[in-house]
Chain A
Amino acid sequence: MKAAPASVTRLFKVAAAIFFIYTSAGCDVDSSNNIPPVPATGLVMYAEANLHESEETAQIAAAVYLDGAPVGLVGGDVFEARTTTQRVLLKDSGPYAGSYATPLVLDVVQDVFLNVVHEPIEARDDRWYPVDLLNIDPGPGELVGKTATVSFPPEVTITGPVSGNVYRSINDIVDLSWTAIGAGDAMRVLSFVSCSDGLSNSSYGTVVEIADDDGQEAIPLNRFIFDANEGSTEIRFISDAAQALLQELLDQLSAGNIDPDFVARKIEANPISSDCEIRLFLQRQRKGVFDASFDDGLVIGSRSAEVTVNYLVVVPFDLN
């Protein structure tokens, strides 16, 4: 079917409007500076090991930063995590830029020793070709020999809220309680939130630092659930207008054969107006030690426990 000239002109206008609105309202998200909170100067060691409740596998991550920038281990230099019975190399990408990670089986809870080693063949053993025959070995780098030790704190036992507890307002308070140890360890809550408004989904994480390991913390729900449009009615208007125009354009291009909620389904759900599952990870952290040749370091062993609560949107009752 051939579109009439007027229809084509209108389609171009709609497309141009959408382009303008999205480019003027868009924000650049720079994820290149995803680094842990380490000092911005000097040679800094970062290492973190977490052991979750009832699991025998700790998640290990480590990195070295020089003046705030990650230092890549290359040419066969690699972090090794070792206990008295286990040894693994950190060959996966870690949660932070330039960090390396691996799971490590712990038969018993014990210290984990992290060393930078030079293993030109073992570091390549995920490759398909004969790495023992063909490899270019530049020799050990400057970081080889540097070490850190991670110690785990006592385990975390959450006593409240009960799993499945429901909250209906972001002003509600989550009364988090746990068995206090009081050994001077730091506490924090990590949340993983999954929301759905019936059309689309969203998921994200937040962190809440807790002052003391005293067994209780009242945390407002708005530390986990937020209004994505809060404080910017103008942006909300533009976003809604762009959605409507894009939906109209797609409707015209497809001669009406498109889901009327197609665009809405592509937009991330706003948590405050969605039903959300909130997984709360309470983490107890203990500082470890790092090689004296580092200028500074952030070495943490942690243990965590989890409870899941829910945020449900209050649906207005229609008297009509």
Chain B
Amino acid sequence: MSVFIQLFFIGLMTLMSVSVHAREMQLDASVLLTAMDAGGNDNFKSGKGLALQYSYYLKKWLAADIGLFVSDQTFTDTRRDVVGDYRVSIQSKSILLGIKPRHRFAAPYEVYARLGMQYWQTELEVEEYFNDSVPGGKTSATDTGAGYYASLGGAHYISERVVVQLELRHMTQRDVFEGESDNPFDLRINALSFGFGYRF
């Protein structure tokens, strides 16, 4: 298990241990359909991801939100230029820390939002192929940094403890590879997620 994921679970366990007397908590697990945009002519294909989030309700309408987001390796189209054929992929993980305001209607429905900071770790991989006599290959680099996330969702209570959720998410990672390259970029990840929440 990577240090990154260990860090998330340490934070999660710490929050849970100090909140044993809390009135309400919620654990959400979602699958995401992602659209990445790194600017320029990147042309990323759509990708998949997973999000695990824990909410500790400070008030009836407001929770502290901590989460983990992991994206699948997401590829661009293969392109050709004067150098050769190339394809780029991105895989990203983020620890999310923020707030989650909500409004619960009389009917078994709820709308909510999330807003917060993220600490991300992103790996960029490039595959290049030239021709039969000049070999190509793969190379990759990893960077970490901070950014923000925001989302808007709706939930339906299928029981007193279990909800299904549909959520639109946006995450921005600023200045990826700044300090290592003269061409850093901002990575924006938009996602539609579907998941379940369990209240306890």
A74 to B180, CA, bound (A): 26
Q: A73-B82, A124-B83, A127-B86 are in contact. Are A132 and B130 (CB under 8 A)?
A: no
Closest chain A residue to B180, Cβ basis: A133
Interface size for chain B: under 10, 10 to 19, 20 to 34, or 35 or more residues? 20 to 34
Q: A100-B82, A124-B83, A135-B128 are in contact. Are A130 and B137 (CB under 8 A)?
A: no
Interface membership of A134, Cβ < 8 A: yes
A128–B38 CB distance below 8 A: yes
Across the interface, A130 reaches (CB within 8 A) one of B42, B130, B138, B183, namely B183
B126–A136 CB distance below 8 A: yes
Interface membership of B160, Cβ < 8 A: no
Q: How many residues of A contact B (CB 8 A)?
A: 26
A74 to B136, CA, bound (A): 10
| Chain B residues within 8 Å of A124, by CB | 81, 83
B183–A132 CB distance below 8 A: yes
**Interface hub of A73, A128, A135 (most chain B Cβ within 10 A):** A128
B159, chain A: closest CB distance, angstroms: 46
A74 to B131, CA, bound (A): 8
A108, chain B: closest CB distance, angstroms: 28
A131 to B79, CA, bound (A): 15
| Chain A residues within 8 Å of B42, by CB | 128-129
| Chain A residues within 8 Å of B181, by CB | 130, 132-133
A128–B128 CB distance below 8 A: no
| Chain A residues within 8 Å of B86, by CB | 127
A130 to B184, CA, bound (A): 6
Q: A74-B131, A134-B124 are in contact. Are A126 and B38 (CB under 8 A)?
A: no
| Chain A residues within 8 Å of B124, by CB | 129-130, 134
Across the interface, A136 reaches (CB within 8 A) one of B38, B128, B183, B185, namely B128
Which A97-143 residues have C-beta < 8 A from chain B? Answer: 100, 120, 123-124, 126-136, 138, 141
Interface membership of B2, Cβ < 8 A: no
Closest chain B residue to A71, Cβ basis: B131
Which B171-200 residues have C-beta < 8 A from chain A? Answer: 177, 180-185
**Residue positions of A touching B, CB distance < 8 A:** 72-76, 78, 89-91, 100, 120, 123-124, 126-136, 138, 141
Q: What are the 9 tightest A-B residue pairs by CB atom distance, in nearest-first order?
A: A128-B40, A130-B181, A74-B130, A133-B181, A91-B82, A130-B183, A134-B126, A136-B128, A75-B130
A-B contact pairs, 17 of them (CB 8 A): A73-B82, A74-B130, A75-B134, A100-B82, A127-B40, A128-B38, A129-B126, A130-B141, A130-B177, A131-B183, A132-B181, A132-B182, A133-B181, A134-B139, A136-B139, A138-B134, A141-B134
Q: A128-B38, A132-B181 are in contact. List 12 more A-B contacts (CB 8 A).
A: A74-B131, A75-B83, A78-B82, A89-B82, A128-B42, A129-B42, A132-B182, A133-B180, A133-B183, A134-B140, A136-B138, A138-B135
